């Protein structure tokens, strides 16, 4: 069951996935812990808790609802890779609600969070790529068509907090891109 959707060895608790009307859902009471998590499906709805080094979600429509996804110093790629580079299929629509926490804070350097779509990317959750002893990481929210992001986003590292309007002194990077 879990291996068919996650495509990696993992530890699961609770009723992990349900399928209803063709939508694959990670349910709120579930958790997955694995070195890598790679979830694929046409329509994905992600809730619950995921702890990993690398998280990849690919599908046409991806909704992240109230989930906490943690990859310390690693990667969270939802709907595509950095600047839409080849290798990970693009999502058409990605939405991240206000209860979501995507965390790639690292003890040394922060990791990478990418939310990418060809039609619509809507983000209102908490995204953090804080560095510990090193640099902050990269947070990218991109879309070829429509991009919705909080009015006053900020990126934080151990030493710096930056609002979108001010530079981050190469300690952390926030890329908002509508191609």
Q: How would you write the pLDDT of the chain (179 residues) with one tens digit per residue?
A: 445 555 455 555 555 677 777 676 777 777 787 778 888 888 998 888 888 899 999 999 999 998 999 999 999 999 999 888 878 889 999 999 989 999 998 898 889 999 999 999 999 888 888 888 888 788 888 888 888 876 555 455 444 444 443 333 333 445 554 44
Query: Residues 6 or more apart from 151 whose CB is under 8 A from it?
Result: none
Question: What would the two tokens of residue 86 be?
Answer: 């080849």
Closest CA to 79 of 40, 33, 23: 40
Q: How many CB atoms lie within 10 A of CB 4?
A: 9
Q: What is the pTM of this model?
A: 0.81
Q: How far is CA 93 from the centre of its chain?
A: 13
């Amino acid at each position: 069951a879990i291996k068919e959707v996650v495509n990696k060895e993992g530890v699961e608790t609770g009723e992990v996935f349900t399928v209803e009307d063709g939508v694959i859902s990670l349910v709120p009471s579930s958790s997955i812990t694995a070195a890598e998590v790679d979830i694929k499906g046409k329509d994905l709805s992600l809730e619950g808790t995921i702890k990993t080094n690398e998280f990849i979600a690919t599908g046409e429509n991806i909704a992240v609802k109230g989930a906490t996804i943690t990859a310390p110093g690693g990667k969270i790629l939802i709907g595509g890779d950095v600047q839409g580079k080849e290798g990970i299929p693009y999502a058409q629509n990605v939405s991240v609600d206000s209860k979501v926490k995507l965390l790639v804070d690292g003890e040394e350097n922060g990791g990478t969070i990418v939310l990418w779509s060809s039609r619509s990317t809507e983000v209102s959750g908490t995204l953090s790529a804080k560095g510990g002893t090193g640099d902050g990481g990269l947070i990218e929210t991109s879309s070829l068509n429509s991009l919705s992001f909080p009015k006053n986003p900020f990126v934080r590292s151990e030493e710096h907090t930056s609002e979108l309007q001010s530079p981050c002194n190469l300690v952390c990077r926030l890329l908002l891109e509508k191609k």
